[in-house]
Homo-oligomer: A and B are copies of this chain.
Amino acid sequence: MTDDVQAPNGDTSTGDMLAAMGKAAVFTPADFDRLLETGLPQAHRAGIRTREMGHGSITLTMPVSEDFLRPGGTVSGPTMFALADVALYGAVLSRAGHIVLAVTSNMTITFLRRPPARPLVAHARIVRMGRSLAYGEVTLYSEGEDDPVAHATGTYAIPRG
C-alpha cells in the first residue's frame, strides 16, 4: 500500500465505515476483505481474499486471471508484487489489531521459479513492528505446491496520527 487507505477526498461513507471498523477490538479476515473492497477495489476485483489471519500474520489467495498472465500461461511479476504488497499490509493490520494508515516504503522481491497458471497463495508475517516502521516478509506459493514461487520483504511506514 503506497497511499493512505482513507481517502482525504470527502468520501464520508468510506470514512464512516472505516471508522466503525477501526473500533473493532480484533481485526478479522472478513474485516480485511471489506477493506479491500472499499479501499483497494483493484485488489478486490482481482479476486484477492483473506484465507486466515493471526496476530501479525495473514494468508491471502488470488485466483488466476487472463489479465495477469504472460504469454506461456505464467503469472506476471508485477502481479506477484501486488499480491505480496497487499499481504504485507494485511499483516500490519493484523498485528495492529485495527486499521492503520500505512504506506509502502520499500520492497524487495525475488522470483524463485516460474509459477504455473494456478491460484497464488501469499503468507505474510511481521518480523518487527516498530513505532513508525513495520517490516515483514511474504512467501508466495502456487496453490497446492510446497515449493515457493517468490519471496519478498518490505517496510511499511506508519505515519504518526
Number of interface residues of A (CB under 8 A): 52
Give the distance to chain B from A161, nearest Cβ to Cβ, in Å.
Answer: 16
The quantity of this chain's copies bound in the complex is: 4
Task: Produce 1/0 per residue, A5-46, CB < 8 A to B.
Answer: 111110100100000000000000000000000011010000
Q: Which residue of B lies closest to A7 (CB)?
A: B71
Contact of A77 among B14, B107, B153 (CB under 8 A): B107
Asked if A71 and B9 make an inter-chain contact with CB atoms under 8 angstroms apart, the answer reads yes
A121 to chain B, nearest CB (A): 15
Could you tell me the dominant secondary structure of chain A's interface residues?
A: mixed
Chain A positions 94-148 with a Cβ under 8 Å from a chain B Cβ: 103-114, 127-128, 130, 135, 137, 139, 147-148
A contact residues vs B (CB 8 Å cutoff)? 1-9, 11, 14, 39-40, 42, 67-68, 70-78, 80-82, 85, 103-114, 127-128, 130, 135, 137, 139, 147-148, 151, 153, 155
CB pairs A–B below 8 angstroms (16 shown): A2-B75, A3-B76, A3-B114, A7-B70, A11-B71, A78-B82, A81-B107, A105-B111, A106-B106, A106-B110, A107-B108, A108-B109, A113-B130, A128-B148, A137-B137, A151-B153
